[in-house]
Structure 1
Amino acid sequence: MDSERYIFEAEWFDKVACVVKKFLLYYYVSDNSVELYDLKTKKTFLRRTKCEGVEEKDFYVGALITIFSRSMRLINFADCNTKTKLSSKAQKTLAIIMPDIIDKMGEILKKIAAQDLHIGNIKMVNFTKDSAIEFYKGKSGSDLSRTINYVISGPIVAIELLGEDCVARWQELTGPNDSSEAREKAPSSIRACYGKDFVQNAVYGSADVKSADKELKFFFPDPKCERKGFKNTATFEDCTCCIIKPHALQSRLTGHIVDDIQKAGYLITAIQLFHVDPINVEEFLEVYKGVLPDYGAIVAELQSGPCITMEIKHKDKTVNVPVEFRKLCGPMDPEIAKHVRPDTLRAKYGKTRVQNAVHCSDLPEDGLLEVEYFFKILDES
Structure 2
Amino acid sequence: MEGERYAFLVEWYDSLAGIVRRYNFLFYPKDSSVEMIDVKNKRIFLKCTKEESIRLDHCYIGSSVNLHGRQLKFVEYSDTFTKTKLSMAKEKTLAIFKPDIMEKMPLLLEILCTEGLQICDVKTVVLSKSAAEEFYREHCAKPFFRTLVSFMTEGPIMALSLLADNAVSRWRELIGPTNSADARSQAPDSLRARFGTDQTRNACHGSDSVVSAERETEFFFGAGNSSSRGLQVPAEFDNCTLCLVKPYTMTQGLLGRVARDIVQAGFDISAMQMYHFDKSTAEEFLEVYRGVVAEYSEMVSELCSGACVAMALTHQHGSACVEQFRQFVGPADPEIARHLRPSTLRAKYGHNKLKNAVHCTDLADDGMLEVEYFFKILQ
If the length of structure 1 is used for normalisation, what is the TM-score? 0.91
Aligned pairs (5 A) from 1:125-204: 125-139=125-139, 143-204=144-205
Greater Cα shift, 272-281 or 77-86: 272-281
SS at match of 1:352: coil
Aligned pairs (5 A) from 1:1-150: 1-13=1-13, 20-67=20-67, 70-139=70-139, 143-150=144-151
After TM superposition, give the deviation of residue 251 of structure 1 in Å.
2.8
Cα separation, partners in 2 of 1:303 and 1:20, compared to 1, 3 Å: farther
SS at match of 2:236: coil
Q: Which amino acid is the alignment partner of residue 341 of structure 1?
A: R
After TM superposition, give the deviation of residue 351 of structure 1 in Å.
1.5
Greater Cα shift, 116-125 or 276-285: 276-285
Cα separation, partners in 2 of 1:290 and 1:229, compared to 1, 3 Å: farther
Q: Distance in 2 between matches of 1:317 and 1:129?
A: 34
After TM superposition, give the deviation of residue 142 of structure 1 in Å.
5.5
SS at match of 1:320: helix
Cα separation, partners in 2 of 1:289 and 1:171, compared to 1, 3 Å: same
SS at match of 2:219: helix
After TM superposition, give the deviation of residue 29 of structure 1 in Å.
2.3
Is 1:270 matched up with 2:271? yes
Cα separation, partners in 2 of 1:336 and 1:13, compared to 1, 3 Å: farther
After TM superposition, give the deviation of residue 175 of structure 1 in Å.
1.2
Q: Distance in 2 between matches of 1:304 and 1:178?
A: 42
Q: Deviations over 1:306-335 (max 9, x none)?
A: 311111012x24572111111221111111
Q: Which amino acid is the alignment partner of residue 182 of structure 2?
A: E
Structure 1, gaps ≥5 residues long: none
Q: Is the 8 A contact 1:103 1:267 kept in 2?
A: no
Cα separation, partners in 2 of 1:367 and 1:75, compared to 1, 3 Å: same
Greater Cα shift, 68-77 or 300-309: 68-77
- Number of residues paired by the alignment? 378
SS at match of 1:272: strand
After TM superposition, give the deviation of residue 36 of structure 1 in Å.
2.0
After TM superposition, give the deviation of residue 90 of structure 1 in Å.
3.7
Greater Cα shift, 46-55 or 75-84: 46-55
Greater Cα shift, 133-142 or 113-122: 133-142
Q: Distance in 2 between matches of 1:26 and 1:164?
A: 22
1:285 aligns with 286
| Aligned-residue identity in percent | 43
Q: Distance in 1 between matches of 2:16 and 2:302?
A: 17
Q: Distance in 1 between matches of 2:5 and 2:174?
A: 32
Q: Is the 8 A contact 1:92 1:161 kept in 2?
A: yes
SS at match of 2:104: helix
Greater Cα shift, 12-21 or 47-56: 12-21
SS at match of 1:347: helix
Q: Distance in 1 between matches of 2:347 and 2:44?
A: 42
Q: Distance in 2 between matches of 1:46 and 1:294?
A: 27
Q: Deviations over 1:271-318 (max 9, x none)?
A: 11122332222122111111111111111222233311111012x245
Q: Is the 8 A contact 2:93 2:217 kept in 1?
A: yes
After TM superposition, give the deviation of residue 199 of structure 1 in Å.
1.4
1:368 aligns with 368
After TM superposition, give the deviation of residue 157 of structure 1 in Å.
0.8
Q: Distance in 2 between matches of 1:44 and 1:156?
A: 45
1:327 aligns with 327
Aligned pairs (5 A) from 1:244-259: 244-259=245-260
Q: Is the 8 A contact 1:107 1:259 kept in 2?
A: yes
Structure 2, gaps ≥5 residues long: none
Q: Distance in 2 between matches of 1:247 and 1:17?
A: 30
1:354 aligns with 354
1:218 aligns with 219
After TM superposition, give the deviation of residue 24 of structure 1 in Å.
1.4
Q: Is the 8 A contact 2:131 2:229 kept in 1?
A: no
Q: Is the 8 A contact 1:239 1:367 kept in 2?
A: yes
Cα separation, partners in 2 of 1:2 and 1:42, compared to 1, 3 Å: farther
After TM superposition, give the deviation of residue 241 of structure 1 in Å.
0.6
After TM superposition, give the deviation of residue 203 of structure 1 in Å.
0.7
Greater Cα shift, 66-75 or 303-312: 66-75
1:343 aligns with 343
If the length of structure 2 is used for normalisation, what is the TM-score? 0.92
After TM superposition, give the deviation of residue 46 of structure 1 in Å.
3.0
Alignment RMSD (CA, Å):
2.4
Cα separation, partners in 2 of 1:153 and 1:138, compared to 1, 3 Å: same
Cα separation, partners in 2 of 1:200 and 1:350, compared to 1, 3 Å: same
2:305 aligns with 304
SS at match of 1:150: helix
